[in-house]
Structure 1
Amino acid sequence: MQATLPPGPRLPSLLQTIGWWNRPTVYVERLRARYGPRFTMRLLGQLPAVILSDPDDLREVFMAPPDVLHPGEGARILAPIVGPHSLILLDEAPHLEQRKLMLPAFHGERMQRLTGLMTELTDRELDSWPIDEPVALHERLQQLTMEIILRAVFGLDEGARLNSLRDRLTSILSFGDSPLSLLPPAQRLLAGRGRFGRFEEDKAQVDSELFALMADRRREGGERDDVLAMLLAAEHDDGSPMSDEEIRDELVTALVAGHETTASSLAFAFEQLARRPEVLERLAADAATDDDRYLDATINEVLRLRPVLPNAEPRLVKQEVTIGGWTYPPNVVLIASAALVHHDPKIYPEPHAFRPERFLDTKPGTYTWIPFGGGRRRCIGASFALLEMRIVLRAAAERFTVSAAGPPPRPRRRMITITPGDGALVRLGRRERPAARAAVQDHALNV
């Protein structure tokens, strides 16, 4: 056994932080080429972080007892945005109990009941996209995923409250664009000043609006299909309801975890489809059928090639643990790197090529495909995100042809996610609907 940490760059922490922020994928790939499948980074204001990319190491991390590794403490930089009761920040028994309360809202029949709303909002958004001119889709996809979450998760109806919360929440999410915003020393030093002060004002207004929404919904009663309705009815193991603060934090968590991530994944999908027209043509052909195998394979490949969360939930070591032959002491952070395992040529030949066929006859591996993390901390919103991606990509394939409007962009970091550097700049063309498909749709509209 080895008691020291794996080797890594000896650059000052400021320079390591700049490389990690500005070249999030290329930087760690270079470090793996030099140091191997596990290496140590030291980022500004953070505990030592060991980046892991060997699937066996990932399995041991995901299967470690909850009192040995704490993902919640490893994600504390998100606390100012998501709040202390967020599922992301909880560990051990509190995490398990809160996860049990949240899980039913994002699975099974409840998800299927949201399909109609997601489809309606998607159709409305795609109908507004310009044709035959360059258009950056990332911002438009952000608007769409924001709208879906505000309607399907927050349960907001059209009106002033929806508009106010949309504006305030958009401002809160933009707070994380700067690396300083996520560093605890900067948060403490600049509290109440400049963009930090505006963030605190927006957050206070959002809290007020959400607490008023909860009060209104309790007075109204009745049954609704949104996630808020489920949280208002949920009970802890002792029979007590979730507090307003708990519900607020989980709603904001759903937004943080599902808004930017899904928008960026869809943006990367359009970026790839613009350069692989034969993939889009097959999606268009399959859209007229009930066969979603190629659509699902395409989504799996997008999430493999461009994982928008390159570092699955960091885990803080609480008790000494041995993983992959290395013994890690407390106060070290272990990070399962989706970016590295997804781009490992030993696992995925030609790892930087976009090939949906990889997943046509092969299911994604538990420890080699981790866009949603893994183990007991796997993202509970995975089904929600995949449903969104299916609906949007199917609708887009039916409507549009897609071509590149510029050179391949370099990915850039936005808060904790990776996005297309050019905003997913493409050119859309109008696709003629197949006659049989058009007739069926027109008949349905006239019934």
Structure 2
Amino acid sequence: MSEAPPVDQQAAFPLPAVELPPAPRIPKALQKIAFTLSRRRTMETLSRRYGTAFTLDLPVFGRTVVVADPGLAKQLFTANPVDVGNIQPNLSRVLGPGSVFALDGADHRRRRRLLTPPFHGKSIKNYEQIIEEETLHETSDWPEGDEFETLEPMMRITLNVILRAVFGAGGAELHELRRLIPPWVTLSSRLAVLPTPKRTYGRYSPWGQAAEKRRRYDAVIDTLINDAEADPSFDARTDVLAMMLRSTYEDGSVMPRQDIGDELLTLLAAGHETTASTLGWAFERLSRHPEALAALAAEADTDDNELRQATILEVQRTTTVIDFAGRHVYAPVFELGEWVVPQGYTIVVSISEIHKDAAAFPDPGKFDPQRFVGVRPDTNAWIPFGGGTRRCVGAAFANMEMDVVLRTVLRHFTIETTAAAGEKWHSRGVAFTPKNGGRIVVHRRNT
């Protein structure tokens, strides 16, 4: 769609009448409660009942059109950002107004151009050794022959990796961040899907606790920025913090210090929980699929990674960690397929439901990494990182990190298979994880 014409031109071109998808005949309050308590099951149930588009009244987002069709998702993700922009409200409520999640339009494009270089091409190759080192350190005391959960070890690996990749050093400040970030991420992830109160209600309330952790985080970041700028080797540093501090916009201006803090928090939060959750699901899935596991173990002893990459794609498809992406309608009306959505509405793409699309993924309920061997997924149907101009800027980094972690584990351990039922879903607020933590049994290989 093109940019909306001026008001005087709009009068000459009557707008199409609003035409919304069907809505469930249950009270709005019950819709909100169902979504809050179990949004994944709610989306699944309503998709079976109403198909690929329906209208809901949701907490936080209000009147919302939900779509579960790759074609509609493509239309939304490629639409003019003047017509449909950043979802409102968004994760900037917990990450800060300087986060890329808060920005829209030209400001968003400028920020993405500044953030993209550290997470693509040769830059991410610099981090492979860090990932392998952290994986070896974390797995060094894994118990042999006893079942244990992988989610928390993966959380520690991904947090340490992003801390080292972002700041490029150790020290008391990074120790403090290791202590602050995990509980802050857990708390903020839950608060992000709840309405924001007008006040925090003191330090003993969840919002007050989150605000206090943020104040302590800001103090640590301020110290780290001062230390980086005073570092004699600053110009040679390859960590993300140094690259942010050295980067400039087209007009020569630099990113404000507060915005750097918000972006670093975004990287720390988004760059560790979602990747760790996907890895937890990977271990859960592989322990229940002996053939796929055996083939992966054999590949890990070579320099190939085609099957491992295919497995990562299939894990992300079948056990989608982030289950929706959305936009806010700014145009007077937005035509989406056969529907006409009015200004002020939210449009949500149900990622988890699109990943079940049988036309794009035959036998979608089957875990089958072979479907992606030698075949790249349809970018409109495989969307774990979202789509369009707001697709996750760290997608390539996350993919590389998961690849290195899996390779390292498979080179040093044999994973037992099990006939136990798959683990159920557990909501951590924003992300979904295996309910029992992705439990496995391993034996150390003689390497």
TM-score, L = length of structure 2: 0.91
Pairing 1:350–2:367 present: no
For structure 1, which segment, 192-201 or 202-211, has the greater mean C-alpha deviation from structure 2 after superposition?
192-201
**Cα distance, 1:349 vs. partner?**
2.0
Question: Does structure 2 conserve the Cα–Cα contact (< 8 Å) formed by 1:300 and 1:356?
Answer: yes
Residue aligned with 2:242, SS: helix
- Choose which of 237, 245, 260 in structure 2 pairs with 1:247: 260
Displacement of 1:239 after TM fit? 0.7
How much has 1:91 moved relative to structure 2? 0.5
177, 182, 193: which is aligned to 1:165? Answer: 177
Q: How does 1:268-279 map to 2 (within 5 A)?
A: 268-279=281-292
Q: Are residues 1:55 and 2:70 paired?
A: yes
CA contact (8 A) 1:271 1:426 kept: yes
Shift of 1:245: 0.7
Whichever residue aligns with residue 318 of structure 1, its letter is Y
Count of residue pairs the alignment pairs up? 428
**Aligned CA distance change for structure 1 residues 128 and 61 (closer, same or farther; 3 Å):** same
Indicate if the aligned counterparts of 1:271 and 1:404 stay in contact, CA closer than 8 A.
Answer: no
Which residue is 1:360 aligned to? Answer: 373
SS at structure 1 position matched to 2:367: coil
The one-letter amino acid of 1:154's match is F
1:191 deviation in Å?
A: 6.1
Give the counterpart letter for 1:255 in structure 2.
Answer: L
3-state DSSP of counterpart to 1:182: coil
Deviation at residue 283 of structure 1 after TM alignment:
1.1
Letter in 1 for 2:148: V
Once the 2 structures are TM-superposed, how far is the Cα of residue 181 of structure 1 from its aligned partner? 5.5
Q: Which residue of 2 aligns with 1:38?
A: 53
| Cα root mean square deviation, aligned | 1.8
Deviation of 1:24 after TM superposition, in Å, equals 3.5
- Structure in which a larger fraction of residues adopt helix: 1
User: What are the Cα deviations for residues 39-87 of structure 1, in whole angstroms up to 9, with x where unaligned?
Assistant: 112122432121111111111101101111112xx15342232110111
User: What's the CA shift string for 1:223-268, capped at 9, x where partnerless?
Assistant: 2121111101011222111111111111111122211110010011
Match of residue 218 from structure 2: 207
SS in 2 for 1:350: coil
| Segment drifting more, 165-174 vs 384-393 | 165-174
- 1:266 and 1:14 map into 2 onto residues whose CA distance is 36
Quickly say closer, same or farther: Cα 1:31–1:281, change in 2 above 3 A.
Answer: same
Post-superposition shift, 1:406? 5.3
Deviations 1:268-326 (A, max 9, x none): 100000101221111111112222111111111001111111102x1000002101121
Shift in Å, 1:22: 3.9
Specify the alignment match of 1:425 in structure 2.
439
* Of 243-252 and 188-197, the range deviating more from structure 2: 188-197
Corresponding residue of 1:184: 195
Asked if 2 retains the 8 angstrom alpha-carbon contact of 1:406 and 1:426, the reply is no
Structure 2 counterpart of 1:87, which letter? V
1:408 is aligned to: 422
**Partner-residue secondary structure (3-state), 1:344:** coil
Residues in 2 aligned to 1:146 and 1:50: alpha-carbon distance in whole angstroms? 35
Distance 1:39 1:29 in 2: 12
Shifted more, 314-323 versus 18-27: the winner is 18-27
Say if 1:262 and 1:371 are closer, same or farther in 2 by CA, change over 3 A: same
> Paired residue for 1:310?
323
Distance 1:144 1:187 in 2: 36
Q: Is the 8 A contact 1:153 1:228 kept in 2?
A: yes
| Unaligned runs of at least 5 residues, structure 1 | 434-447
* Percent identical: 37
Q: Once the 2 structures are TM-superposed, how far is the Cα of residue 175 of structure 1 from its aligned partner?
A: 1.2
Moved more, 284-293 or 3-12: 3-12
1:200-233 CA deviation, whole Å, 9 max, x = no partner?
1110010011011001100114221211111010
**Are residue 16 (structure 1) and residue 31 (structure 2) matched?**
yes
CA distance in 2, matches of 1:296, 1:351: 18
Match of 1:301 among 314, 322, 332: 314
1:59-208 pair list within 5 angstroms: 59-71=74-86, 74=87, 76-155=89-168, 157-176=169-188, 178=190, 182-186=193-197, 188=199, 190=201, 192-208=203-219
State the one-letter code of the partner of 1:30.
T
* Gap runs ≥5 in structure 2: 1-15
- Partners of 1:55 and 1:341 within 8 A in 2: yes
Rounded Cα–Cα distance in structure 2 between residues aligned with 1:53 and 1:191: 40
> TM-score with structure 1 length normalisation?
0.91
**CA distance in 2: counterparts of 1:64 and 1:185, whole angstroms:** 29
SS in structure 2 opposite 1:153?
helix
- Which amino acid counterpart does residue 416 of structure 1 have in structure 2? V
Using the TM superposition, name which of 97-106 and 417-426 deviates more.
417-426
Alignment partners' CA distance in 2, 1:49 and 1:190: 30
Q: Answer yes or no: is the 8 Å Cα contact 2:181–2:269 preserved in 1.
A: no
On the 8 A contact 1:405/1:426 being kept in 2, the answer is no
1:177, distance to aligned residue in structure 2 (A): 5.1
1:375 pairs, out of 357, 371, 388, with 388
Counterpart of 2:116 in 1: which secondary structure?
helix
Are the equivalent residues in 1 in contact too, given 2:285–2:422 (CA < 8 A)?
A: no
Q: Distance in 2 between matches of 1:22 and 1:424?
A: 22
Shift of 1:192: 4.9
